[in-house]
Amino acid sequence: MREYAGLLTKEYLQFLGITDVSKDGKHIYHKGHEIKQGGPTNAGYMFINIHDPNKYQRVPQELRTSTCGKVNITTQRVVFAWWHESHMVPPGMVIDHKNDIKTDNRFENLQLKTPGGNIWKYRELSKKEIKCNMNKSRAFYEDKLNNYLYLYEQAKQDGDQKRAHNLRCNIHQTRARLRYYDNHKEN
């Protein structure tokens, strides 16, 4: 999907065969027929899978399969590019859902944000989530932190950088929960 992030314009969508997009984001038409949307993905977004003839032509003929030339584009990017007055998603910008429901792709619910602004928004939301999920004892979070620290050391020794990164994120979040617990919960 990132390959098309800066190229997504209404003209490009029309080149792909998109003929109409509803403002509520529920109906996308390709050559007069409605496209079935996929998803939500692991990140929670809806998407369409569509054929790009240019991408297909770049694959040598002997290697072509039915999936060659397929492009996955998130629905919110399609709706925004189709209905926004500039008819494009500017390079380096992301589409954000105002109400934080990732499957609500109404044009009125979409807004442009910088990646940094979007990250800041989700950090603020995760702080609220931490406050809401404090239904376990402090000992539970301490055990969880110790387990993450042990697994992190193992991942570092094994040289598994991706796993180590994920565990660092879990360690950070668990420490944040413990800090919140110390500041707001009575023992």
Average of per-residue pLDDT across 5-28: 84
Mean pLDDT across the chain, nearest whole number?
80
Query: 94-107 burial, b if ≥16 CB within 10 A, otherwise e?
Result: bbbbeeeebebbbb
Q: 187: pLDDT confidence band, cut at 50, 70 and 90?
A: very low
Q: Does the reported pTM lie above 0.75?
A: no
> Which CATH fold would you assign to the domain 2-112?
Homing Intron 3 (I-Ppo) Encoded Endonuclease; Chain A (3.90.75)
Average of per-residue pLDDT across 67-74: 78
pLDDT tens-digit readout, 80-106 = 889 988 877 777 788 888 887 888 899
Percent of the chain at pLDDT exceeding 90? 7
Q: 149: pLDDT confidence band, cut at 50, 70 and 90?
A: very high
Average of per-residue pLDDT across 135-152: 86
Q: Is the pLDDT of residue 167 over 60?
A: yes
**Residue 185 pLDDT:** 61
SS3 assignment for the chain: CHHHCCCCEHHHHHHCCEEEECCCCCCEEECCEECCCECCCCCCCCEEEEECHHHHHCCCHHHCCCCCCEEEEEHHHHHHHHHCCCCECCCCCEEEECCCCCCCCCHHHEEEECHHHHHHHHHHHHHHHHHHCCCCCHHHHHHHHHHHHHHHHHHHHHCCHHHHHHHHHHHHHHHHHHHHHHHHCCC
Instruction: Write down the domain spans for the chain.
Output: 2-112, 133-184
Q: Is the pLDDT of residue 1 over 50?
A: no
**Residue 77 pLDDT:** 87
